[in-house]
Structure 1
Amino acid sequence: MIQAGITNVKKILATALIVAFATVMTGCGTNFGTTEDGKQKYRWKFTVTAGANSTWYTAAQLFGEELDKQSNGRMKLQIFTGERLSAGEPVAGVEQLMDGAKDFSYNSPIIYAGINPKFGAVVMPFRFTSVEEGHEALQGSGGEAYRKLLAENGVELLGFGESGMRQVTNSKRPIKTPADMKGLKLRIPGFGLYTDFYRTVGANPTTMPFSEVFTAIQQGAIDGQENPVDVIYSADLQAVQPYLSIWNYSYDPLILGMNKDLYESLSDEDKQIVRTAAQKANTFQINENRKQESIKLQEMEESGIQAYEMTDDEVEQFRASLAPLYDKYRDIYGDELSKEFIPEGEK
């Protein structure tokens, strides 16, 4: 009797382990039965790094609505803000997507670069001068290079959204030349390319969780930070940073990614539903992000921040010192990515 009981317990534990493993391998949002005509039903999970007031989140909502509509209710999407499925850690969240522990995400290539530095190619300083130029580059061979790189890492590319051009704020002085950067302690993402760039132009870059930036500025632990206007505004940094320099130094798109094994498991019909919904979501997110940026910038200026837009000649003073940086990252990126994302004349 005792032996039989032990055997049954072992069988139950083994079954539980198999179910748990299968859940991990197929993603947090697994299938949940079929319709009367035999079509698969799905429950999927989608994470974004930003909060519920962001265009990232509203675009994810639109994506879910389109999935539900086009699949006649077979595809359900649950959205999590602030990388809640990975305890607020964006890089860990991307690893979950790659491993199949979740299904979809919006993430910057900067976050992917925490796993493989090649993903940071598109944000190379001064490669693009506008969001339109950066977006266009990702619609052709540049985007195809990313599709291949993502596939090699277990992610199906469903197109690009847009965080925007990254700017710099500080509490010391207007930034117009590299000399104005000297000695400024600026918070940056934990990203080797940005660390190298800011050291090259004379700043003192440091990393910390973005949630700590506002308080760190208040307490004088750091002098400033860099981010797109949307992020600066959403974090209310204009309340503690009197100077904003608009130099459009780095184009930051968003990758709408899906676990590749999950994507490949879908029928052709369901793959098309996912792709159509993703295209609508990305188009909406980009348009909304661009429209809101000018509104938020105006509100920031009205609240007292001094926004200075650098001239082409001033930007060139920063760019002129970057030849060694471009050479270093050409070796890291390889020929295909370097051809697309190392600035012209510096290949």
Structure 2
Amino acid sequence: MNFKTRAITGVLATSLAAALLSGCAGGTPAGQSAPVAKIQLSIPDPLTSSVGVTAQHFADQVKKTSNGSVQVTVVPNGTSFSGDQNAAVTRLQGGSLDGLILSTSVYASVVPEMNGISIPYLFSDTKEEAKFLAGEPGKVLKDKLAAKDTVALAFLTRTGREITNSVRPIEQPSDLKGLKIRVPGNTLWTDFFGKLGASPTTMAFSEVFTGLQTGTIDGQENPIEVPWTNKFSEVQKYVSMTNHINDAWVLALSSKKWDSLTEDQKKALTAASEETATFKTGYDEEQSKKQLDELAAKGMKANELSASGLAEFKATSQSLYPEFSKLIGKEFFDQAIAFTGKK
């Protein structure tokens, strides 16, 4: 081998070594794709619930939009956070949970503006709520969450909350007088139900069925799918279609998990989340009618509010606007009221 040949061989060897070192240092070697990003998405309810079906729909959409580069696994029943929803929010912020779908009423403990979604009788229906969440108010809430190391991919609507109990139908606020109604541990709920004349009682949701069964509480309030999923027809006689409060779900990732993703993966997740938000609004509208029929078939008596009864509920809410404004923050409260045209 002459000098010139040895020199060329040396250059090629050096170039090959540099390429190999580059690959070991974090680059993706030619011919190999980037590693699949794996996300565990925790939810508080069973896979058969509305949020369970929606979470799996999201996982399927992500597989399509990412061409398989992101894999979402749904972890149901609150098992990844031992059923403690407040702890789940903290763990998501800290990055020990990858992703989470949880109610906005729980996030209100760290972002008070979240309660703006739940001003009683703020929305006429879930379609109006969807516009609110997809509009400027929703953007403000996403920014507030981002400051808490939480990347809100999308807000998912829920149908209006209804009241179930075993004492009497609820047709006007006076029918609630003295009834122990389980509510979330959120001041907006306790203020509202206290003003209506009920005895608002906070209780972990895992204890609600037993509480209803033993008479520790008389009733509870939730979207219709909750008494359906949890078989409350076995321990409740009446379901009153009060539609008093809407809340929503936050579909979120921890900032830690989000920052570990490529730009293409982020775009895929965002696209999938937007499609999933549209899916859930339609799915819930269809399912809630079937679920109400099934509850009635199992012996629950359903009633709608009269026009005068509804007016009384709305008047009670409006009388609490000064308190709600302080709880939520005046700026966002005013924005919410202006957006929906409520006074």
- Deviation string 1:60-114 (CA, Å, 9 cap, x unpaired) is 2222223333434332222111221111111111211122111211111011123
Q: Number of aligned pairs?
A: 315
Counterpart of 2:107, as a letter, is Y
Question: Cα deviations across residues 168-207 of structure 1 (Å, max 9, x unaligned)?
Answer: 0111111111211110011111111101111011000111
Q: Which moved more, 1:151-160 or 1:190-199?
A: 151-160
TM-score normalised by the chain length of structure 2 = 0.86
Give the conservation status (yes or no) of the 8 Å contact 2:126–2:281: no
Q: For residues 322 and 273 of structure 1, do their structure 2 counterparts lie closer, same or farther at Cα, with a shift above 3 Å needed?
A: closer
Partner of 2:86: 91
Partner of 1:329: 324
1:309, distance to aligned residue in structure 2 (A): 0.7
What is the SS of the residue equivalent to 1:96?
Answer: helix
Please, what is the CA RMSD of the aligned residues? Answer: 2.1
Identify the residue that residue 184 of structure 2 maps to in structure 1.
189
User: Hey, what's the Cα distance between the residues in 2 that align with 1:212 and 1:263?
Assistant: 34
Deviations 1:241-262 (A, max 9, x none): 1111101111122111112343
Q: Which residue of 2 aligns with 1:9?
A: none
Deviation at 1:282, TM superposition (A): 2.4
Aligned to 1:47: 42
Equivalent residues of 1:108, 1:163 under 8 A apart: no
How many Å separate the matches in 2 of 1:228 and 1:182? 22
Aligned to 1:208: 203
Change (3 A) 1:302 1:141: same
User: Equivalent of 2:130, from 125, 135, 143?
Assistant: 135
Distance (Å, rounded) in 2 between the aligned partners of 1:237 and 1:33: 55
Q: Gaps (5+ residues) in structure 2?
A: 1-25
1:172 match: secondary structure:
coil
Select which of 78, 102, 108 maps to 2:103: 108
Given candidates 117, 121, 128, the residue that maps to 1:126 is 121
Letter in 2 for 1:79: V
Please name the residue that 1:257 is paired with.
Answer: 252
Question: Displacement, 1:33?
Answer: 10
| Aligned residue in 2 for 1:290 | 285
Q: Does the 8 Å CA contact 2:69/2:265 hold for their aligned counterparts? A: no
Q: Secondary structure at the match of 1:43?
A: strand
- Alpha-carbon shift at residue 40 of structure 1 (Å): 4.1
Distance 2:186 2:27 in 1: 42
Instruction: Give the counterpart letter for 2:245 in structure 1.
Output: S
Larger Rg: 2
**How far apart, CA to CA, are the structure 2 residues paired with 1:179 and 1:70?**
51
CA separation in 2, counterparts of 1:169 and 1:319? 19
Unaligned runs of 5+ in 1: 1-31
- Counterpart position of 2:303: 308
Q: Percent identity?
A: 31
Equivalent residue for 1:218, pick from 203, 213, 218: 213
Of 69, 72, 76, which residue of structure 1 is paired with 2:71?
Answer: 76
